[in-house]
Amino acid sequence: MDSARGLVLVVEDETSIADLERRYLVREGYSVHLEPDGESALLALQRLRPAAVLLDVGLPGDLDGVEVCRRMRERGDWTPVLFVTARDDEVDRVTGLELGADDYVTKPFSPRELVARLGAVLRRSEGRPGRRRWRVGELEVDLDTRRASITGEPVDLTPTELNLLHTLLSARGRAMDRAELLATAWGQADYAGSRTVDVHVAQLRAKLGAHCPVETVRGIGYRVTGAERG
């Protein structure tokens, strides 16, 4: 059923936009399943287990895209999510990132950019070969399995959060500014603004608590010290 590049669940109630997304994704080698609302999207997620979700924020009915993403994360579903929305307000963007979305595209969008951004999200979720384990105190990050744990207990991190943490660990104590983190961890230039990095660091701190090794370096950005490679 899935093509070589995987199945993408597109959740969009505007038929013309859904069809545009489907055509460009299929052209790039993805298979696509379309759903028009939040309720059917949640059912499709459990049934199909897609590689990624293109999720419109302004869905009809009681479940908009933000609520769909919230329910996904609450039930432990960390499938990569890319929000597609007409809302171009920073508050909306930050809210989406705080819920665990991996990227955010506003309408009108370039279909080619949308596909490229989706590809970047999937590459972050897959990782790269040859990576090893990192340990900072009781926190362990395993890039081969794409998992993090504290004293052996797993911690749910999004692919983007995991990539950001690994980027800082790999810097071996060097402070990295936000532009460099966007380029390295996200694989693109400053397309979403430095606020994106701050939101994901805040999410890491919320999830890892006292075990979060990310330090703020005033006037520069962030760093991790004391990391050991396993």
**Model pLDDT for residues 117-154, shown as the tens digit of each residue:** 898 888 776 654 444 678 899 999 887 677 899 998 99
| Same domain for 89 and 11 | yes
Domain contains 2: no
Domain contains 1: no
Domain final residue, candidates 81, 96, 126: 126
| Same domain for 182 and 99 | no
Could you tell me the residue range of the domain that residue 105 belongs to? 7-126
**Amino acid (1-letter code) at residue 198:** D
Give residue 97's pLDDT.
72
| Same domain for 18 and 108 | yes
Domain final residue, candidates 72, 107, 126: 126
Domain contains 167: yes
pLDDT digits (tens, 9 = 90+) for 85-123: 887 665 566 766 777 788 888 888 889 989 998 988 887
**Is the pTM for the entire model greater than 0.75?**
no
| Same domain for 148 and 99 | no
Domain final residue, candidates 126, 153, 175: 126
Spatial distance between the Cα atoms of 197 and 43, rounded to a whole number of angstroms: 32
Handedness of CA 29, 33, 38, 43 (dihedral sign): negative
List the CATH number of the domain containing 46.
Answer: 3.40.50.2300
Domain contains 12: yes
Give residue 45's pLDDT.
92
Spatial distance between the Cα atoms of 172 and 92, rounded to a whole number of angstroms: 34
| Same domain for 77 and 51 | yes
Number of domains into which the chain is organized? 2
With 80 as the cut, is the pLDDT of residue 183 above it?
Answer: no
pLDDT digits (tens, 9 = 90+) for 20-58: 999 999 998 888 999 999 999 999 998 888 889 999 988
> Whole-number mean pLDDT of the chain?
84
**Cβ 197 vs Cβ 160: under 8 Å:** no
| Same domain for 122 and 54 | yes
| Same domain for 40 and 106 | yes
Give residue 89's pLDDT.
64
